[in-house]
Amino acid sequence: MKMLSNERRGKQTFTLKLGLLRPSCMITKYAERLKFLPPPAFRPILDQEDPPPEGRHAFCPYALWTPRLINLNRSIKMAKARYDEAQLKDLLLQMMETELGGEQVYRTALTCALNDDLRAEWEEYLDETLSHQNVVRHACDQLGLNADEKAPSRAVVKLIGDSLVKAMELAKSSGNAVLAELVACECVVHAETKDHANWELLGKVAEAATGETGKILKDAHKRVEKDEDHHLYHTQGWCRELWIQSLGMPAVLPPPEEVKQVETAIGASRAEQQRKSML
């Protein structure tokens, strides 16, 4: 058997593998167009190679490094931190501001509520919002963050919270109590949409985080997640039914979300679909 030089033997082994890995050279052509350059070690070899003729895919010189490069990229992604720490801090500061603003939103909304069941519901949500403030503050303390630190994004959250309070006060000043209650419902839905999204995002980071940070985030998320589902889905139900009532149509009060004790988006959708049978 003819002995091959090291370089030649390397090429032989290399091209043999290609036949198994890459039945077509089309992919490697696209890789070339996308500037996926081969590692430097392969360049001298590749530079000497003519483009492989169609049909001789087993001798395609790119096919060895291309899959390796892709796999390498994947493994780098897996090994890297699974979330951006600076953005997590920003999220926590926004969460603190959302809960502080939520307190003001509920305090004002309670002065607009006409329906006794709605008022009782919001009183409960206000208590829970105060508890959420403590959960976020505690999580920040544990993570070595200052929960009161200023941030541009947080200033926006505050502006929106203050605007919701002003909107309710404006509605109240009109002297139309029904309008004020509807506006209060809408403002609570706005506030709770942000609140719910915050906690949902924190839950995603908690899943990705490991060690002490993961433990802190998972604990905080577990303590609040259900409350936030309840706040959003039930208030959406109140808002919809009170609006329907104001339009002179039959409404389900308390809303189906209350009766069915909805705690999920799917449950909220089902409850809304069943409302006609509850009239």
Q: Are 98 and 79 spatial neighbours (Cβ–Cβ below 8 Å)?
A: no
Residue numbers 230-259 binding Fe ion by CB under 5 A: 231
Q: How far apart are CA 193 and CA 187, in angstroms?
A: 10
Q: What residue ranges in 7-120 does DSSP mark as E strands?
A: none
Task: Identify the CA nearest to 209 among candidates 198, 221, 197.
Answer: 221
Burial class from Cβ neighbours inside 10 Å (0-12, 13-18, 19+) for residue 261 reads: exposed
Considering the complex, what minimum distance in angstroms separates the CB of residue 101 from Fe ion? 10
Q: According to CB under 5 A, which one of 181, 186, 195, 241 is a site residue for Fe ion?
A: 195
Which part of the chain contacts Fe ion (CB under 5 A), choosing from 25-33, 111-119, 165-173, 228-236? 228-236
**What's at 128, amino acid-wise?**
E
| Cα 12 from Cα 17, distance rounded (Å) | 9
Unique residue bearing structure tokens 């082994």 = 13
Q: CB nearer to Fe ion: give 193 or 245.
A: 193
61 versus 161: smaller Cβ distance to Fe ion: 161
Angle, in degrees to the nearest 10, between helices 211-246 and 265-273: 20
132 scored as a contact of Fe ion (CB under 5 A): yes
Interacting positions 92-131 with Fe ion (CB under 5 A): 129
Residue 194 binding Fe ion, by CB under 5 A: no
The residue among 13 and 134 lying less far from Fe ion, judged by its C-beta, is: 134
- Min dist CB 20 to Fe ion, Å, is 56
CB atoms within 10 A of CB 140: 21
CB of 236 to Fe ion, least distance (A): 12
In whole angstroms, the minimum distance from the beta carbon of 195 to Fe ion comes to 4
Choices 36-44, 45-53, 55-63, 227-235 (CB under 5 A): range interacting with Fe ion: 227-235
| Shortest Å, Cβ 149 to Fe ion | 19
Give the separation between CA 108 and CA 187, rounded to whole angstroms. 10
Work out how close the CB of 118 gets to Fe ion at its nearest, in angstroms, rounded to a whole number: 15
Residues at the site binding Fe ion, with contacts judged by CB under 5 A: 129, 132, 192, 195, 228, 231
